[in-house]
A and B are shown apart, each in its own frame.
Chain A
Amino acid sequence: MTKPKCRFACEEAIIPGLSLFFVLSYFWQTRQADLAVLRWPLGVFAILGTLWILVLIFNLMSKNHATPSTSITYTKPILILFVSVLYLVFLPFLGFVLSTFIYLNVLFLFLGSKSYFINLFIASAITIVLFFGMVVGMGMSLPRLDLGIILL
């Protein structure tokens, strides 16, 4: 029986890397604060730092990685992220109704729904239900598009 080879798993450094970035940003932001205010974050940092080192030791050069071996496609997840960010960027300008309607239709189309009629029907129904539910039912002030004669 062959022994499992020990390999350098750089993907295991993603979460510790992000954590380190956040911790550094945090202490940069609070560099002028009193020590009294930072006592608790420093205590937590001591624990986090110890565990950070342990996570790297046990996972970066490990035989058994927790990472799933199955290959995944990143195209669609990135697409969802990109379209969602675009939706939020345009939401204040286009208003809730129009941007939500476009957002749903674009995602339906990109995810493989070819029937325009079904896409338009579901997108319209959800947009209308959400709009009236939130504006009329919950009295919320959603971002609206002023077209002069109608507020969308």
Chain B
Amino acid sequence: MEIASLSIIGNGLTTALQFNHLAWILVGMLAGLIIGAIPGFNDTNFLAMMLPLTVYLGPLDSVIFMMSCFCAAQAAGSIPAILLNIPGTPSNATTCLEGFKMTRRGEAGHALGLSIGASTVGGVLSALIALVLAPVVGVYALNFGPAELFMMALFGMTAVGSLTGKSLTKGLFSSALGLFLACVGTEFNEGYTRASFGFFELYEGFPLIPVLLGVFGFSELFTLVNEKNLFTGEKKPVTNFASILGGVKASMRHKLNMLRSGLIGVLVGLIPGTGAAIATWVSYGQARQWSKQPEKFGTGCDEGLVAADACNNGVPGGALIPTVTLGIPGSGTTLVVMAALMINGITPGPSFFSDYAVEAYAILFALLFANLLLLPIGILIARAAGNVTAIPNKYLVPIIALFCLVGAFAWRQMVFDMYLVILFGVLGALLNRYGYSVPAFLLALLLGPLAEQNLHWALAIGGIESFQRPIALVILVATIAVLILPFVLNKMVRRGKIQLP
């Protein structure tokens, strides 16, 4: 089966090499490296705040910027993890185990170099796999009809709901709540406006950007406002170029470890709702199993750090595949990437690789370039990281609050959307505090209309028999499997086979 002609791949490559796209890769990298290095303010929050700008950037520049930011943030989260034992993102918890021990030993530069080297290799591997695998998934995804799309939406919501909450019931409840909120607005078939509560601004349902800004950005402020600084550590990071470069060189001695860990990152990233936090623990556990000196793990050893960071940066490529080919984002960040595409009139899904082939390849090549650029830029940022992360919260919190509110206004130019940011900010904070799944809630809100429409069409076209087609049945089995998966994972954790954060 011909997946894509060489000319399309070539066009994708030349598109990615255009000056404006390269510039957005660079801007995304710099933003991601800074954002990822700030604990508590992750790439998802930042990209949600940047979402209104995507209207002006266009779909390709937006996604290139966002994916570059995603890759860089994954790598940069290791910087505070290594220097101050504070993970920049939840997936950097494993980096803390080894990296901070090295810092205590005075090997901060070496640890940062190891981290950047491993992140680059893991990221490049993941981008290459995405380049090969994504179009294949896209070709097979073309066989999807309304029944299969409904089942995929159901699978995505169930997977994210069952794997991301503090408990299975709370995770699934978050999905159901998001799905119910998606019922607000004009019904597509009859044209009846369901529960707009008298606000014309809700005729099309809850607008995505204010909801994302509220749930991710504004809700975070309620935690940050009670802390003096983003960092609470006492040790000042001391690094120099020589030690960082030495670390990069040392990381190349762990080729097999990096390949295995990068592959684990891609595979786990492919499964919606899992994400880098789970992937890095699986990878860390595997590295320990394969190691000749497993007793050194947890004492500040190179192998553990390399495994965690190569895997961490393997996730973005894996997470991008279901996002663009099936329309199911694997994480909060890819959810925002998907939202950026949808805002610009592109619906990610089975036909993405046929309708937007050049753009799709350009995104994948941009992902590759972003990971290659990670090495030089990462070294420079790691050197200067200590200063950026020291902004007091008394200045940072008001600025973030303002950016969330103004960002919501920028999209539809309605003050009503700014009120929604506050409303969903409070809801997001409550969901987080009581262990509900924010990604599941948002994904259901996003996929709700899609699920409703496709269920309607599937029943109208082929009745209940539509759901007996092989692909629909396979997805149904997968949906049931992800409902069982939390029980299996719990059992494995109890038996000590895997460690979860």
A residues near B, CB below 8 A? 11-12, 14-15, 18-19, 22-23, 25-26, 29-30, 33-34, 36-38, 40-41, 44-45, 47-48, 51-52, 54-55, 58-59, 66-68, 72-73, 76-77, 80-81, 84-85, 87-88, 91-92, 100, 103-104, 107-108, 111-113, 122, 126, 130, 134, 138, 140-143
Contacts and interface: CB of A to CB of B under 8 A. Distances in A.
Interface in B82-128: none
B219 to A, nearest CB: 10
B200 interface: no
A48 B176 contact: yes
Interface of B: 56, 166-167, 169-170, 172-173, 176-177, 179-181, 183-184, 187, 189-190, 192, 194-197, 221-222, 225-226, 392-395, 397-399, 401-402, 405-406, 409-410, 413, 415, 418-419, 422, 426-427, 429-431, 433-436, 448, 452, 455-456
Nearest to A52: B173
In terms of DSSP, what is the predominant structure of the interface of chain A? helix
A125 B413 CA distance: 22
29 contacts: A11-B434, A15-B431, A15-B434, A18-B427, A18-B430, A22-B181, A26-B195, A30-B194, A37-B192, A40-B187, A45-B180, A54-B173, A66-B434, A66-B435, A73-B226, A77-B226, A77-B429, A80-B397, A81-B426, A84-B405, A88-B415, A88-B419, A91-B415, A103-B402, A104-B399, A104-B402, A108-B395, A111-B225, A112-B394
Contacts, number: 155
Contacts of A80: 221-222, 225, 397, 401
B293 to A, nearest CB: 36
A122 B221 CA distance: 19
A22 B180 contact: yes
B321 to A, nearest CB: 28
Given A25-B197, A55-B170, 15 more contacts: A14-B430, A14-B434, A15-B177, A25-B195, A34-B192, A44-B183, A51-B169, A51-B173, A54-B169, A66-B434, A67-B435, A77-B222, A84-B422, A142-B409, A143-B415
Contacts of A14: 430, 434
Contacts of B226: 72-73, 76-77
In terms of DSSP, what is the predominant structure of the interface of chain B? helix
Nearest to A91: B415
Nearest to B184: A26
A100 B402 contact: yes
A143 B196 CA distance: 25
Nearest to A88: B418
B430 A15 contact: yes
A36 B190 contact: yes
B179 A48 contact: yes
A52 B395 CA distance: 40
A101 B393 CA distance: 18
Contacts of B422: 81, 84-85, 88
A144 to B, nearest CB: 13
